[in-house]
Chain A
């Protein structure tokens, strides 16, 4: 399964990661090598095996009661804080 630059760009867009063009061939080669190695998974007999977590226990349920929070350090950690909100650059079409 050959991994192309176009596919890498698609993954970068999906995962919102920026790579310089100069870095791309390096990542491409390493990912290719890793994916090639994963072919050994097809040598394992997986017939009839469930892909799901088998469970009898249900996810725990919480009562509908309000919990108040202490100072969450929002302003301190926010890269840009304005009018009690997180400020972000506009959406470019």
Chain B
């Protein structure tokens, strides 16, 4: 049961999204950020929190944070400050996280999302930089509470993160999911985050509250932490909204608390309540000076930025006549997008339109079936161009081309070679086709009568016969033309 339009409540959601920055090294030390290595193999005195170690800020992380800020239309702050967020946990080696508190690097931005074809602007309150924590692997059982002991791996400790905090402008679980997807695509396009949710590159915390429709005051909110897939974002919010609705309808007020989404039960449960809420005791980190940025530096980053995905999407729609859905597919798959851009480069626009259809349609489907990435695709962009050219020239029917493409994907051979090899060239020789048409018409005089009587679709049967006799290689429009002309002559 989800909140529908009949509900007396309005859902108010804010998302805090943590994105790992795609730097080579960690935020405050020179350790590699590469994923999946032996535990504790990418560590040093700094990220291990050894006595006497000190942090030094990664320039590339700053650049990437600024890029994200520009993409989200933020005011990039010329002075921001790092602060210590104090709490104890084994995956936090120093017993505090270096983050940014009252002076973050970006403020006052927004992100436009498309919901049911309509554009909605979601406010971005702030973006700040912070270090990631290590990993705690619970041993002995599946759930945290059932574990007998835990193992700490600090490879991830100090990996750079940006935390993007949205205004509470989202009004449904679906909107929240779309917001997070749009954010992912944007950051991927910038090259700032690899958007790999399975590896934890992107995580969200959701703040959810309900209020009576028409109310302006915000209701008590709960926080659901660590949502690491688009599905879980949507489901967790739905579950929590249901829980809060039931609670309020029963007259029980909502308690401000932190909750966790349980995949197994598809429900949220309490992690900690306000009474046990952390007092983080934030203060400016004395091991770092404030980050003071030159306005020229900030501007130069903006000027060097690639086209933003949503702008690209719009451009594809106008330039190549792609549908909204197809355009969205293209920008959501960076792999496909890179391939596409090479394929359509320097092509006249009508050809480009054709090429785009092939990339997003048939080629994409073939590759996905075979679990092959566009980057590893055997069909080079020039081969695809050749294929489309063959269709344009009439050498290949569209239908035949699909078969050829499949062979191209599997063998990497050129379309010309494959066509020559299998004799698949389309028959567009009128005289050759005319003789087939004539003999069919002679054998089907009743069809001629029907067509002359006005039932032109009776000719379809004959079309089918021609195609059958030519093993599908006859050029269809030519066949139709010849049939109708020949019938008219009789």
Contacts and interface: CB of A to CB of B under 8 A. Distances in A.
Given A57-B289, A59-B291, A85-B39, A64 B151 contact: no
Contacts of B219: none
Given A66-B30, A67-B30, A91 B150 contact: yes
A65 B59 CA distance: 10
A66 B61 CA distance: 14
Given A55-B289, A85-B40, A62 B281 contact: no
A57 to B, nearest CB: 6
B436 interface: no
B84 to A, nearest CB: 14
B149 A88 contact: yes
B38 interface: yes
Given A87-B149, A90-B148, A67 B44 contact: yes
B151 A87 contact: yes
A72 B292 CA distance: 34
Contact of A89 (B43, B149, B279, B284): B149
A82 B151 contact: yes
B281 A14 contact: yes
B85 to A, nearest CB: 13
Interface string B28-55: 0111100000111101110010000000
B163 to A, nearest CB: 19
A69 B148 contact: no
**B contact residues, range:** 35 or more
Contacts of A87: 149-152
B25 A66 contact: yes
Interface in A67-93: 67, 69, 72, 74, 82-91, 93
Contacts of B25: 62, 64-67
Nearest to A67: B30
Given A59-B289, A69-B44, A72-B44, A85 B147 contact: no
Interface of B: 23-25, 29-32, 38-41, 43-45, 48, 56-62, 82, 88, 90, 95, 137-138, 140, 144-145, 147-154, 279, 281, 284, 288-293
A45 interface: no
A69 B151 CA distance: 22
Nearest to A84: B39
B145 A60 contact: no
A64 to B, nearest CB: 4
Q: What does DSSP make chain A's interface, helix, strand, loop or mixed?
A: loop
B246 to A, nearest CB: 24
21 contacts: A58-B293, A59-B290, A59-B292, A60-B57, A64-B23, A64-B58, A64-B59, A64-B61, A65-B25, A66-B31, A67-B29, A69-B44, A82-B151, A83-B151, A85-B151, A85-B153, A88-B90, A90-B140, A90-B148, A91-B145, A91-B147
Contacts of B29: 67
Contacts of B290: 53, 55, 58-59
Interface residues of A, number: 31
B43 A64 contact: no
A93 to B, nearest CB: 5
A83 B291 CA distance: 39
B122 to A, nearest CB: 31
A86 B40 CA distance: 9
A83 B39 contact: yes
A14 B96 CA distance: 12
A13 B10 CA distance: 39
Contacts of A60: 56-57, 289
Given A53-B284, A58-B290, A84 B149 contact: no
A56 B292 CA distance: 8
Nearest to B38: A84
A90 B281 contact: no
A16 interface: yes
A68 B281 CA distance: 34
Q: Which 7 A-B pairs rank lowest in CB-CB distance, beginning with the nearest?
A: A67-B30, A58-B292, A85-B151, A64-B60, A61-B59, A59-B289, A86-B152
A67 B151 CA distance: 25
A52 interface: yes
Interface string A24-43: 00000000000000000000
A63 interface: yes
A59 B57 contact: yes
Contacts of A93: 145
A8 to B, nearest CB: 15
B147 A57 contact: no
Nearest to B59: A61
Contacts of A55: 289-290, 292
Contacts of B292: 55-59
B251 to A, nearest CB: 29
A57 B292 CA distance: 7
Contacts of A53: 284, 289-290
